[in-house]
Amino acid sequence: ENIAYGKPRAAQEEIEAAARVAAAHEFITRLPDGYDTVLGEGGMQLSGGQRQRLALARAVINNPAILILDEATSALDAESEEAIQRAMTRLTEARTTFIIAHRLSTVRSADRIVVLLDGQIAEMGRHDDLAAQNGPYSRLVRAQFIEEGDRTPATAP
């Protein structure tokens, strides 16, 4: 019911397929009643990463032509972020996607990154190109690289 919120007549197979794409199937099957587990008030509570994966599954089952993801990986632990990154890669294939993010790992593989500064477009391009320039994006890359103690080169996709 949760995943099929926007498509109430979805078959169980569609729901499970959407959950697999969103990296949610495994944790759902471990819930006390699997796909029939009651969530929220009076029911099972989910972690932030689990809630994000359910939201992605709802997007998958609705199959929108345009997808808007707003801070899809913010405030997640590393394992949840990695699972959601993989799910987002599958979900964003062959569709127009707007990703609003402060975590650069979320947008590294985007076809086009638009950097806004004071409400204006400051730069636009691919990760590697923008990271190589001395603009706002490259400063963000360096700041996050230092802040997160990332061992991966800042320009790696």
Lowest mean pLDDT among 15-19, 37-41, 68-72, 149-153: 149-153
Q: Domain segments of the chain: what residues?
A: 1-101, 102-157
Decide: 99 and 69 in contact? Cβ < 8 Å: yes
The separation between CA 110 and the C-alpha centre of its own chain, rounded to angstroms, equals: 12
Residue 148 has pLDDT above 70, yes or no: no
Better-scored residue on pLDDT, 149 or 100: 100
Specify the DSSP class assigned to residue 39.
Answer: B
Please give the CATH number for the structural domain made up of 1-101: 3.40.50.300
Question: Which residue, among 80, 120, 114, has the nearest Cα to 100 in the 3D structure?
Answer: 114
pLDDT of residue 24 exceeding 70, the answer is yes
Helix boundaries (H) for 22-150: 25-29, 48-62, 78-92, 127-132, 136-148
Q: What is the pLDDT of residue 154?
A: 45
pTM of the model: 0.71
